[in-house]
Structures are given as structure tokens and as C-alpha cells.
Chain A
């Protein structure tokens, strides 16, 4: 059911450069895990409402007031690379 190509595609969607051996291993394991978890379909009738969260909260507001927050130095303290108070990232578009 889960092919090697499926796993490779999922890995690409998940932004993980899996090695070939990992793809082989995962394909077998996912097949087994999905077989086990598919049982949820046995009781998931059309009449049952889904629950996404244990608390029935929506639109939690707070007053819009200025609070202390991180300085630029603190915010950048864990950055792999930074320049001029900004995160430096690899190229996002195809060319410079």
C-alpha cells in the first residue's frame, strides 16, 4: 500500500532529505503502523462529530497593550547566521 515512491514524496513534503536506506525501512514500518491505526474507521460513523481540541475555546482575546519583549540581540541570539539585526538565510529564490 505504501510504496517507496510514496515515502520519498512524503519526505519531500516534510522537508527531510531521507537516505535511500531510511526510505526502505520506513516504507515497511509505515505499512504496519497504518494497518494498525486504520481501525479508527470501524467506529467513525457519519453521525459522530469530530473533536479537534479538548477545550471549546474560540477567539481568546487580551487587551492590546505594549508589553516587554525580546531585544533584537536576544531574538537573534540563537540564529545560525545573522546580519544587520536580521536572520541571514540561504537564497530563497532561484538566483541571486
Chain B
């Protein structure tokens, strides 16, 4: 039952074949069985989840019409607040904090009857590509427990691949939904900036952060996208327009006549051979499905990574100033003799991990007078050049494609003390965050050299999120036919027995 797709689970709940309570209990049992090995969750809210599930069952018993994912369990990235449920962002500085309100995404999930199982592990404040930067220990990739599940949303991606949840929420500032999806064989979508409310999402880099859906299938991601998307008066950067018709697009399974651009700059040197092989095969599959393949050039994409590592740290150095030991979270050294500033300094030293400190200091430097124009100012100009590259590309094609991540999942510890090597994981995902448009990662096979999942990235213009689902849905159907079933059939059992 736990290996089904979310829409199948929802249908079973709607027809009374299974109760949401039993479905939720099955996932809680699975978590109890395997999460010691995977460590996808930082907090499990069994009581709250079962109460939500019973409410869905009661609504059904009363004959109420259920929403499309009602009664289906979901894993929530620990960067999003849920009233009364511990929210840490993977940081010691928020250990034990229970938010007094719900994020808009959480409100929408609750209203739709989606059952929130608990909070998933992540790189501290979403800064990282491996989930090794969590203060609570790393998450392990269900495909190979010695490897990383991607990051920052490694808990969410691992929970899907471990069948601990069929749905998850992630957030993507430079690739934190897409890269974890790529290395775990799951589907992850970064919606158009402003497409999903950021209210209640703990801010890392406000002009880049975007919450989005994670699932094991394109249709499940679309159903979740429709629930969480849309305008929100509590987020002034939320777009006041209808959610693109992503569910209908996911069901089309037809790319005939679509113009699909292969980005010349996102491939080649630095990319693993097996990643490029699976990507090139996918291009041929799309051609076979009747799409027109066009090579396009985005010459400024090579400057995206350096621009990102100036803009994101700059914004984070400002955003994370709110962790000041005064109103919530950790307070260290308050002996009634030390000043507020001394307490602040001691608390931030004790509460933040190395990567967060590194980025705050880097951002403080980039924003300091004398360096502002050379660093932050120049990065903002690169942002314009990347938007121009996208505009030129989308004048020629409907969507762009590339590998999502240059490599498959690497070993835990392999890049832990080499920040620049770690940052390269997001080389293909970052341009989208800088420009604010949308992208999806779907699995496109296993790399021949290591048997690990490879992700294919689909990129569309702002507010054309439906195109991601149209291409993703068609490719997924073609792959499933070629492989004789979904890629998740090949993930190793975590219990030694039959799944």
C-alpha cells in the first residue's frame, strides 16, 4: 500500500477501500521501521497526523466531497512552520521552538485534508546540497545508505524514496528541491517565484526562495502543486494570478510539436559520463515522441554560480539577523551581567553551524561599503544577463532541458570540507532561481557506472509551470514503458525482505 502513488491512495480513501487512519498508520509504521537507517525525519507528529486522518475519514462518512489528495500523508520540510510542532530548520538555534502559527502552505494542506506526518531533515537553514549541514546529523540516501540524499531538502527526498511518505514539501533557493529529487530518483518542482506563498517559510534568501511539491510521480506533484499554489495576501511577493493548469498538463502525455531546447552550457566538462549518457538518451526519447529538439546557448549561465554565491549569502546575512536571542530560540550567556549584544554574539556562535557562519560572513563582506559595487552590485548585473539569456532562449523554444545535477549521489563526507566543490552541485539549477522562472527534475534512469538515479531538468518561463508537467508527464510515461515500470521498483529494500 505504501508503494502506491498518492493519487491511488487518495482514490482508495475516497471509495472507502481504506481509511486515511489506516493509511497514515501504515506510513508511521514504515517510518518506525526504517527511519533509524534513513534519518529523513527530525520530528514525527503521530498524534497530530492520526487526528487529521480521522477528520478526513469522518468527513467522508458524512458524505462530504473530498479534495483530490484528502487523507494522503505528507512529509514537511523543517523550514516551514506548523503551529505547535517543533520547527528547527536543521539548526541548534531553533531547537525546541514551537511556532505559534501555520505557514500558508500548511493551512492549504490542512484545508485539503492532506495528513502531515512530521518534519524532515535539511541542511541548516537550507544552506547545502547534501543535508550534511544539519545540526542533527545527515540523512541517508535509500538507494545507498552511505551516500547523500541531496540537499538542502534531503529529508524530503529520502522520505519519498524510502516509502515513508508519498508526498513532501521542499523549498528551492538554488536547487534544494530539484537536486535531492535527481539523486533519489524522485520528482521535484521549483514553481515560478511567487507561485507558492512564502508566508511561514523561514527565509534564507528572499528573492530566490520558493516552496514546491515533491513526489514519486509527475501527476502526484501536479496535484500537490495545485493545492499549495496561488495568491496569498500574507506574502506581498505572491503572484495574483490563477495557478497554471498543471494537473491537466501532467495528464496530456503528448509533446508532439513542442520545441525543446538543449542548453549547450549545461553539460560537458564537469558532468559525470553516466549522467550525460542518460540525458542524451532522454533527448532522443523526446525526439521520438515528436518534439523538435533545438540546441540553444545561454552564454552567461557560467556566471550564475558566482553570482548566486554573492546574492544568497548577502540576503542570508540580513535575513538571519532575526536570530538574535531576544524573542525566540536559543539564548546563551544571559547571566544578567552581560549586555544584549554580548548575549547575541555568544548565542549566534553557539547556535549556528559552520556553513551558516561562512555564508553570513561572506554576505557581510559582499555588502560592506567599499566592496558592495564590486561584489553584490556585479552579481545583480549578472542576474539581468541571465534573465536576458532565458528570454532569448524562450523566444526560440517552449522549454529548456539539461541534467539536473552534474553527478549522481556522492558519499557522505566526500565534499564536507570543500565548500567550492559542494557548491558545484547546483551549477545547472541556480540560473532558474536567479531569473525567477520554474523548473522540474524527473528521473531519467540509473547511471551505468554506479547504478544510481540521474535527474533530468525541465525549465519553463515564469507562470508557464504547466509546460514542465506536460513534458515531464510524457517523458515519465515513455520511461515507464521502456523500463517496465517506475524507477522506484529498483530502489533497494531497506528491511531485507520484500517491500
A73 CA to B380 CA, complexed, in Å: 42
Contact B340 A10 (CB under 8 A): no
User: Residue A66 at the B interface, CB < 8 A?
Assistant: no
Contact B100 A74 (CB under 8 A): yes
Contact B361 A55 (CB under 8 A): no
Q: Which residues of chain B are within 8 angstroms of A78 by Cβ–Cβ distance?
A: 97-100, 327-329
A47 CA to B361 CA, complexed, in Å: 30
From B235, which residue of chain A is reached at the shortest CB distance? A60
Contact A54 B436 (CB under 8 A): yes
Contact B329 A36 (CB under 8 A): no
Contact B419 A22 (CB under 8 A): no
From B320, which residue of chain A is reached at the shortest CB distance? A14
Given A10-B361, A44-B377, A55-B237, decide whether A91 and B340 contact each other with a Cβ distance below 8 A.
yes
Q: Which residues of chain B are within 8 angstroms of A36 by Cβ–Cβ distance?
A: 306, 309, 420
Query: What 0/1 pattern do residues 146 to 184 of B give for CB contact below 8 A with A?
Result: 000000000000000000000000000000000000000
Nearest chain A CB to B332 CB, angstrom units: 9
Q: Select the stretch in B125-133, B284-292, B345-353 that faces chain A.
A: B345-353
Q: Which residues of chain B are within 8 angstroms of A80 by Cβ–Cβ distance?
A: 325-326, 328-331, 334
A79 CA to B327 CA, complexed, in Å: 5
Contact B306 A40 (CB under 8 A): yes
How many chain B residues touch the partner (CB < 8 A)?
70
Query: What 0/1 pattern do residues 59 to 71 of A give for CB contact below 8 A with B?
Result: 0101000000010
A92 CA to B340 CA, complexed, in Å: 5
User: Residue A43 at the B interface, CB < 8 A?
Assistant: yes
A7 CA to B364 CA, complexed, in Å: 10
A13 CA to B387 CA, complexed, in Å: 33
Contact B303 A42 (CB under 8 A): yes
Contact B349 A18 (CB under 8 A): yes
User: Residue B396 at the A interface, CB < 8 A?
Assistant: no
Given A15-B345, A16-B349, decide whether A57 and B325 contact each other with a Cβ distance below 8 A.
no
Q: Which residues of chain B are within 8 angstroms of A17 by Cβ–Cβ distance?
A: 342, 345-346, 348-349
Query: What 0/1 pattern do residues 74 to 96 of A give for CB contact below 8 A with B?
Result: 11011111000001011110100
Interface size bracket, A side = 35 or more
A62 CA to B233 CA, complexed, in Å: 8
Q: Which residues A12-59 have CB closer than 8 A to chain B? A: 12-19, 22, 26, 29-30, 32-34, 36-45, 48-55, 57
User: Residue A5 at the B interface, CB < 8 A?
Assistant: no
Nearest chain B CB to A2 CB, angstrom units: 8
Query: What 0/1 pattern do residues 91 to 127 of B give for CB contact below 8 A with A?
Result: 0000001111100000000000000000000000000
Nearest chain A CB to B236 CB, angstrom units: 4
Q: Which residues B309-363 have CB closer than 8 A to chain A? A: 309-310, 317, 321, 324-331, 334, 336, 338-346, 348-349, 352, 354, 357-358, 360-362
Partner of B419, one of A29, A92, A94: A29
Partner of B382, one of A6, A44, A57: A44
Contact A60 B361 (CB under 8 A): no
Partner of A90, one of B236, B237, B336, B387: B336
Q: Which residues of chain A are within 8 angstroms of B330 by Cβ–Cβ distance?
A: 80
Contact A49 B381 (CB under 8 A): yes
A56 CA to B44 CA, complexed, in Å: 40
Nearest chain B CB to A5 CB, angstrom units: 13
Given A48-B384, A57-B236, A80-B329, decide whether A14 and B317 contact each other with a Cβ distance below 8 A.
yes
Contact B384 A53 (CB under 8 A): no
A52 CA to B378 CA, complexed, in Å: 11
Contact B435 A54 (CB under 8 A): yes
From A30, which residue of chain B is reached at the shortest CB distance? B362
User: Residue B470 at the A interface, CB < 8 A?
Assistant: no
Given A50-B384, A91-B339, decide whether A15 and B378 contact each other with a Cβ distance below 8 A.
no
Q: Which residues of chain B are within 8 angstroms of A87 by Cβ–Cβ distance?
A: 326-327
Contact A32 B420 (CB under 8 A): yes
Contact B381 A33 (CB under 8 A): no
User: Residue B61 at the A interface, CB < 8 A?
Assistant: no
A78 CA to B344 CA, complexed, in Å: 16
Partner of B300, one of A30, A43, A51, A92: A43
From A48, which residue of chain B is reached at the shortest CB distance? B381
Q: Could you name 12 residue pairs across A and B whose Cβ atoms are closer than 8 Å? A: A11-B361, A15-B348, A30-B358, A37-B309, A40-B378, A44-B378, A44-B382, A50-B380, A52-B383, A53-B436, A60-B236, A89-B326
10 pairs of A and B residues whose beta carbons are closest in the complex: A54-B436, A78-B328, A50-B380, A44-B378, A80-B331, A17-B345, A44-B381, A74-B100, A60-B236, A51-B383
Given contacts A17-B346, A30-B361, 17 further A-B contacts (CB under 8 A): A10-B368, A13-B364, A15-B345, A16-B345, A16-B361, A33-B309, A43-B382, A48-B381, A50-B384, A53-B237, A54-B437, A60-B237, A62-B233, A77-B100, A90-B334, A91-B339, A92-B340
Binding site for B on A (CB under 8 A): 2, 6-7, 10-19, 22, 26, 29-30, 32-34, 36-45, 48-55, 57, 60, 62, 70, 74-75, 77-81, 87, 89-92, 94
Binding site for A on B (CB under 8 A): 97-101, 193-194, 207, 233, 236-237, 239, 300, 303, 306-307, 309-310, 317, 321, 324-331, 334, 336, 338-346, 348-349, 352, 354, 357-358, 360-362, 364-365, 368, 374-375, 377-385, 387, 419-420, 434-437, 462
